Amino acid sequence: MRIAIVDDHPIVRRGLREILEEDERFSVVGEAANAAEAIALVRHLRPDVLLLDVTMPGRSGLDVLHQIVSEELPTRVLVLSIHPENQYALRAIKAGARGYLTKESAPDELLVALEKILAGGCYLTESVAHQMTQQATRKATKATYPHELLSDREFEVLRLLGSGKSVTEIAEELNLSVKTVSTYRARIMEKLQAKHTPELIRYAMEHGLVSK
């Protein structure tokens, strides 16, 4: 089973490689450190499964996921992120990921998730399955949370604002211009009906969008 790893931290890629190569069923065929490398890798190597981080400089892992799906590439994606499930899991699954694990997950859980995905299924923890049920219920009753209507990039900017980062810091982290980030902030404020940044910060904290 051919696996590729995408993460901007070399030490994380090395650790994942060591875990996978201890199991003779898995072979790591490639690594990438950013979105451009990831997309090129998938196009060229067509791995069975891509282990994909969410947060990377420039384009995010969700951007990579959307690209893979839009190009109808056969590689299945398992998102492996530092962010808690309540922040990105539903977005990843809706975008086409076959599963979502945090980097705090045990190695055995990673192997179980890969087995299930390679068998044609999806791997959902109880927490993610519960979130999906709750979201479906909210949609049925038209009680969707405002942040669920944000684009992936808008959601990312909201999360970073909620963590206390300035527009300049966010621009640097996401490799965007300050003007672009300011535009995203304005769109977020409009969609969340917020009048100023402190309201966005409070919203992010109240809805569990900021890592503790």
Q: What is the mean pLDDT of each run of 10 residues along the chain (212 residues)?
A: 96 96 94 95 97 87 93 95 77 90 90 94 81 64 75 91 93 90 95 93 88 61
CA distance 122 to 116: 6
Query: In this structure, what are the phi and psi dihedrals at residue 130, rounded to the nearest 5 degrees?
Result: -65, -40
Q: Is 6 helix (H, G, I), strand (E, B) or coil?
A: strand
Angle CA 161–163–37, to nearest 5: 80
Specify the CATH architecture of the domain 146-206.
Orthogonal Bundle (1.10)
Parallel, antiparallel, or unpaired: how do β-strands 49-52 and 99-102 relate? unpaired
- Which pLDDT score is estimated for 126? 77
- pLDDT for position 128: 75
CATH homologous superfamily for 2-134?
Response regulator (3.40.50.2300)
Please list the alpha-helical segments (H only) found in 119-164.
Answer: 126-140, 152-162
Q: What single-letter amino acid sits at 186?
A: A
How far is Cα 97 from Cα 99, in angstroms, rounded to an integer?
5
Phi and psi torsions of 30, nearest 5°: -175, 160
Q: Which of 135, 161, 164, 20 is nearest to 80 (CA)?
A: 20
**What are the residue ranges spanned by the domains of the chain?**
2-134, 146-206
Per-residue confidence (pLDDT) for residue 140, from 0 to 100:
54
Q: How much is the pLDDT for 136?
A: 61
Task: From 17, 13, 57, 51, select the one nearest 35 (Cα to Cα).
Answer: 57
Query: pTM of the full predicted structure?
Result: 0.74
